[in-house]
Amino acid sequence: MFELVKSGGIMMFPLILSSIIALAIIIERFLSLRVSKVVPSSDIERARKLAGINKLADVQVDELRNGSLLGRVLATGLESRELPRHIMKENVEEAGRHVVQELERYLPALGTIITIAPMMGLLGTVLGMIGVFSAINTAGVGNPQQMAGGISEALVTTVVGLLIAITTLVFERYFKAKVDSYVAIMEREALRLIEIANSSRKTLPAAITPAPAAARSAVSTPAASQARPAPASAPLPRGGKPA
C-alpha cells in the first residue's frame, strides 16, 4: 500500500486527504439522516393530537420541537395555529427551508470532492508523464520496460482519483434521494397539520357577540338619569290668583 502511494507521487496526498474527508461526511450523514432523527412516526402522531387541542402548553410544543427535524417544522405550525391560514403556512415554509438546509449539510462538500478528485488524479498523471519524458530526454530510450513501468506508475493517481469520485458520487446521490423523500414527507405532514388546526379552530364555540350600542348605553346610564323629571306646576290663571 505504501509503495502504491509512493508511486503516485505528490498528488497522492491530496487524494488521500479528500478520501478521508469524503468518508467522514458519509458516516456523519448516515447517522444524521436516520428516520428516527428526521421523521419519526411518534412525532407525527403527537403533532396531530396537539393540533386538535384548544389550549397548548409551551412544554408540549418545545418537546415536539426538540424531538426531530420534522417536529421543528410542526411545532412552528402549532405556534401559529391562531393566526390566519396563509400566515401559518408561510411560517411553516420558512421553518421547512431551514430544516432542508440542515438535511443537505455537507452534501456540497461531497459534490466538490466528486469534481476535483478526477482532476487531481489527472494532474498527478500529467506530472508523472512529464517526469518520464524528462528521463527519456536525459538518458534516452535504453530500457522500454523501465519506461512502461514509469508510465504505469504515473497513471496510478488517475485511477485513485476516479475511484474516489465514483464512490463518493454513489453516496451523494443516495443522500440526495433520501433528503428529497424526507422533504416530501414533511410537506405532506405540514399541510395536514394546517388542515387539522383550521378544522379545530372552526369547531370552537363562537365568541360572545357584543351587546348593541343602544343596550350598552342603557346599561351604562345611571338609574337616576333614566327617571323622568317631575311635571312642572300648572301656570296661574290670569289675574294672579290660583284657580
pLDDT in tens, 131-185: 777 767 676 666 666 666 667 777 888 999 999 999 999 999 999 999 999 999 9
Are 194 and 52 contacting, i.e. CB atoms less than 8 angstroms apart?
A: no
pTM above 0.95, yes or no: no
CA neighbor of 7 nearest in space, from 131, 153, 209: 153
What is d(CA 71, CA 105) in angstroms, rounded to the nearest whole number?
Answer: 18
The answer to whether position 35 is within a domain reads yes
* Residue 225 falls inside a structural domain: no
The answer to whether residue 59 is domain-embedded is yes
Domain assignment present for residue 58? The answer is yes
Number of domains in the chain: 1
Q: What is the mean pLDDT of the chain?
A: 79
The verdict on residue 242 lying in a domain is no
Domain span holding position 43? 2-119+165-202
For residue 219, being part of any structural domain is answered with no
- Which tens digit of pLDDT belongs to each residue from 170-199? 999 999 999 999 999 999 999 998 888 877
Answer whether residue 92 is part of any domain: yes
DSSP label at 142?
S
Does residue 84 lie in a domain region?
yes
176-211 burial, b at 16+ Cβ within 10 Å, e below that, comes to: eebbeebbeebeebbebbbebbeeeeeeeeeeeeee
